[in-house]
Amino acid sequence: MAKLRVLQEPNSMLRRVSSEVAREDILSSKIKKLLRDMRDTLAATDIGVGLAAPQVGRPLRIFLVLENALRPDTGHTEEAAAHSPKEKKTTLAFINPRVVKASRKKVWMTEGCLSVDGKFGKIRRSEKVTVEALNEHGKKFIRGASGLLAEIIQHEADHLNGVLFIDSAKEVKKVEAEKEHAKS
């Protein structure tokens, strides 16, 4: 299991516009290894529901979404999509994704980011989106999304364009991690 280091803001890699992956490269050992390593990295996080390649230092138009965030019954919070340690952490890969449709209706959502550790803020996102992408086998797919999944897709697509949620979020707050105290 190869866990990659998640870059933290202000690392300049997070501000780069990522390059498309050539369709013939999707099945290469290099991209397969990157996807495997990104899956391992996302699985090792406590609350992450998505991960973009730029967050691990690869300026490629790839992101992963944790499968439990894809379930229609998942509530509209990251905590609802967070995974338990016992649960299998499977992901869906989006390669060269393009949001081809976004609802005009915007909603306020609370977001955090693995690359902006400990900060959360409110951001306006389209309530619904349609994304077109390639899967890890190079096959094109189109997927509609609403709620949490729409939020994740927009958040991860922003990463591919060098944008972080803190660029437009309101009420950004630092949340200190709770320290466990050993009992005497």
Q: Give residue-wise pLDDT tens across range 128-143.
A: 999 999 999 999 999 9
Confidence tier at 78 by pLDDT (50, 70, 90): very low
Reduce the DSSP state of residue 107 to 3 states and report it.
strand
What is the helix (H) or strand (E) element at residue 156, kind and residue range? helix 147-160
The overall longest dimension of the chain from CA atoms, in Å, is 59
Residue that is written with structure tokens 């965030």 in the block: 69
3-state secondary structure 80-146: HHCCCCCCCCCEEEEEEEEEEEECCCEEEEEEECCCCCCEEEEEEEECEEEEEEECCCCCEEEEEEE
CATH code: domain 12-97+130-164 is: 3.90.45.10
Cα–Cα distance, 134 to 94 (Å, whole number) = 6
Among 48, 47, 34, residue whose Cα is nearest residue 3:
34
Instruction: Give per-residue pLDDT as tens, 36-64.
Output: 999 999 999 888 899 999 999 999 999 99
- When pLDDT is averaged across residues 78-96 and rounded to a whole number, the result is 63
Residues with catalytic annotation? 156
Cα–Cα distance, 88 to 153 (Å, whole number) = 21
